[in-house]
Structure 1
Amino acid sequence: MLAGLELAVREVNDAGGIGGRPLELVVRDTAADPQRAVAAVDELARLGVAAVAGEYHSVVARAAAGRADALGLPFLCSSAVLDALTEQPTKWVARLAPAQSRGWQIYADFLLGAGHSRIAVAAQSSVYWASGVRVLRDYLTPRGGTVIALDMGVLTPATVCDELVGDRATALLLLVGHPEPAVSIVESVRRDPRLAEIMIGAPAGQPEFAEWARSLGGDGAAIPFLRYLPERLSPLGARVEAALRERLAEAPSFVAFEGYDTVAVLAEVLRSHGTDRTRIAASWARVAVEGARGQIRFSRTAGISVWQWAWAPVQVVDRDPAEPDRFRILHTG
């Protein structure tokens, strides 16, 4: 994400900045900690920033969004998908990533289309994972599916295998952190001959990242996950991909594109409406920006408390077993 943010800031400044002034990116690491996110928003507000942006982890983004709303500070959330990003509808927060209910329903459609109706979810305790289980269950149950929750607070990767056999599940979804316990669960399931036919999935996108492939090698392939890229990049998207690839020395994840698009939106808002926070927040409805992944516009969406890009492109992809560095598009929504 940071690489995408920095690339876009550099391009804005190479083109003359905002009204002749350079765009400055002030970075604070939330370290996946909601309390640190609140402290970072407080600090950035005191420093006089025009807006805050970024964040990948949904629970952390919710803390940041709530604080930004309370302070009257515009926040453009790059990557977090939790539907309830704020407790109440707010004018201060907008989001680029599709809401969890949309992305995970598309993933559920993929599961049904692939013939999976008895689905186990290995889930850790968090608002995000619980929301994911609820989305899957609400969507799959009326369509003949069954969702079996496996509590990773009490199970080990080895005992997960026994539960899968007993439950006769045909798919296991990893609603857990990476690298652990996700890597250990994959290794245990892959090595259990009783589970040779089970599909492993990871809707939250853990297999997107290069660390996944380095940790698991071939075991990490053929694990479908969600990512937010179009089937074919526009000329702008292709140029951004090439620049990010050079910067990162590897293929960029969709999160890097989210970072780039965040600055593309904010730069246009600042050009058009200046740095006044109230005017920035009032501008979400008028945004029309060509991002690296398509035309970005925000709207009010039923059940979503923030201004939402409705919708970023959604794919279900996996790593090709024959070439784990290559991604296969399995389903789009």
Structure 2
Amino acid sequence: MNTPPSPPAAERTGGSSIRSSVRSSVRIGALAPLTRPGWVEAGQHLLAGLELAVREVNDAGGIDGRPLELVVRDTAADPQKAAAAVDELARTGVAALVGEYHSVVARAAAARADALGLPFLCSSAVLDALTDQPTEWVARLAPAQSHGWQIYADFLLGAGHNRIAVATQPSVYWASGTRILRDCLAARGGTVIELDMGELDPAAVCDRLASNRATALLLLTGHPEPAVSIVKSVRHDRRLAEVLIGAPAGQPEFTEWAKSLGDDGAAIPFLRYLPERLSPLGARVGTALSERLGGAPSFVAFEGYDTVTVLAEMLRSHGMDRARIAESWPRVAVEGTRGQIQFSRTPGISVWQWAWTPVQVVDRDPGAPDRFRILHTG
């Protein structure tokens, strides 16, 4: 890693095993939440995947003999900070932009990338409306929210849950998720009851669940709070012993969840974007990511790795000109850790989309919270 002394750890260049000057390297900008209030563990996993792929690209000779260099900027879950980072990275001459985990932040980054003519391959954000209008400059690896959350709704209905409560906070992302769930459930006789966490505390949530006879509560809220407090309250309320707690946005994926909640954090289904069995490439990358992270990699780490793998192949095939990169999205065909990645225009989605990465509904096994159980696939 080539780290100059001045920038903080969250804002650096790195990932290159070929020592070279900035002038001769191929630079790509990377966005990730690496400080609070961003989801730091997700950002660390995303960055680990990005950096591993950069190292492997450089070990294999780089981009036509030139090292690939990652220029990292911390978004801290702040849309304005992300937009400013895109402006700065564009001025420094990066060939393209990758990364970001939070959907609302990625939306701000995508808008600036589109306005500036900077190719952006979004790794993890799922919000359907990543840009207001169709754009040629942005592509995405993660499945659109409407796709993944419909699979989650199918899981709920298949498990016999058709009266669902959602604990929500104000956000374009949470509002979109609530709308998707309501549409999917209503079409099959289900009901969604909204619980506004701006007005209710966890104890009041429990009272509402009991009075509304909801059989499932979905956490459409920030982590760790109020999500952790809600889980603890519901788990220890005898009236709600049979209520399923769910977290479609994936909060239980990360170790921070298990550390905060212990046994209370198990048996909470969430969405994960991995196949049932990893390919040989996926297994090899998973082992390398485990060594890098000191533990099992999340699906977000695989998303980071696949992002750089795709972009590196585009740079080799089409060069460093930004317009040529953007024009090449429909010609991508790259083997990633979770299948062959290709982009297409998908109805209702404003960016070039991989349709679709594998989707699972999983939870932490109550008998062994470090182990995940696959409950449903789509």
Q: Give the TM-score range, shorter chain.
A: over 0.9
In the TM superposition, what whole-angstrom CA distance separates every residue of 1:156-206 from its partner, at most 9, and x where no partner exists? 111100000011000000000111110000000001000000000000000
Q: What is the correspondence of 1:94-113 to structure 2 with a 5 Å cutoff?
A: 94-113=139-158
Give the structure 2 partner of residue 266 of structure 1.
Answer: 311
Give the structure 1 partner of residue 172 of structure 2.
Answer: 127
Partner residue of 2:339 out of 279, 285, 294: 294
Give the letter for the 2:372 counterpart: F
In the TM superposition, what whole-angstrom CA distance separates every residue of 1:1-35 from its partner, at most 9, and x where no partner exists? 00000000000000010000000000000000000
Using the alignment, how far apart are the partners of 1:279 and 1:158 within structure 2? 55
In the TM superposition, what whole-angstrom CA distance separates every residue of 1:219-266 from its partner, at most 9, and x where no partner exists? 000000001000000000000000000111110000000000000000
TM-score, normalised relative to structure 2: 0.88
Using the alignment, how far apart are the partners of 1:300 and 1:204 within structure 2? 24
Give the letter for the 1:250 counterpart: G
Give the structure 1 partner of residue 111 of structure 2.
Answer: 66
Instruction: Tell me the CA shift for residue 90 of structure 1.
Output: 0.1
Identity %: 84
Give the structure 2 partner of residue 26 of structure 1.
Answer: 71
- Give 5+ residue unaligned stretches, structure 1: none
Using the alignment, how far apart are the partners of 1:301 and 1:137 within structure 2? 22
In the TM superposition, what whole-angstrom CA distance separates every residue of 1:89-115 from its partner, at most 9, and x where no partner exists? 000000000000000000000000000
Give the letter for the 2:329 counterpart: W
Using the alignment, how far apart are the partners of 1:127 and 1:87 within structure 2? 13
Using the alignment, how far apart are the partners of 2:371 and 2:210 within structure 1? 31
Using the alignment, how far apart are the partners of 1:72 and 1:166 within structure 2? 53
Instruction: Tell me the CA shift for residue 119 of structure 1.
Output: 0.2
Give the structure 1 partner of residue 258 of structure 2.
Answer: 213
Instruction: Tell me the CA shift for residue 142 of structure 1.
Output: 1.4
3-state SS in 2 of match to 1:143: coil
Partner residue of 1:303 out of 323, 348, 363: 348
**Does structure 1 residue 142 correspond to structure 2 residue 153?**
no
3-state SS in 1 of match to 2:91: helix
Instruction: Tell me the CA shift for residue 330 of structure 1.
Output: 0.2
Give the letter for the 2:109 counterpart: A
Using the alignment, how far apart are the partners of 2:112 and 2:50 within structure 1? 22
Instruction: Tell me the CA shift for residue 128 of structure 1.
Output: 0.2
Using the alignment, how far apart are the partners of 2:106 and 2:346 within structure 1? 19
Using the alignment, how far apart are the partners of 2:255 and 2:330 within structure 1? 36
Using the alignment, how far apart are the partners of 1:197 and 1:218 within structure 2? 16
Using the alignment, how far apart are the partners of 2:273 and 2:134 within structure 1? 24
3-state SS in 2 of match to 1:24: strand
Using the alignment, how far apart are the partners of 1:293 and 1:3 within structure 2? 17
Give the letter for the 1:159 counterpart: A
Using the alignment, how far apart are the partners of 1:210 and 1:224 within structure 2? 15
Q: What is the correspondence of 1:8-47 to structure 2 with a 5 Å cutoff?
A: 8-47=53-92
Give the structure 2 partner of residue 329 of structure 1.
Answer: 374
Using the alignment, how far apart are the partners of 1:221 and 1:13 within structure 2? 40
Using the alignment, how far apart are the partners of 1:87 and 1:73 within structure 2? 16
Give the structure 1 partner of residue 27 of structure 2.
Answer: none
In the TM superposition, what whole-angstrom CA distance separates every residue of 1:43-62 from its partner, at most 9, and x where no partner exists? 00000000000000000000
Higher relative contact order (CA 8 A, sep 6+): 1
RMSD: 0.3
Partner residue of 1:87 out of 132, 145, 155: 132
Using the alignment, how far apart are the partners of 1:111 and 1:77 within structure 2? 28
3-state SS in 1 of match to 2:245: strand
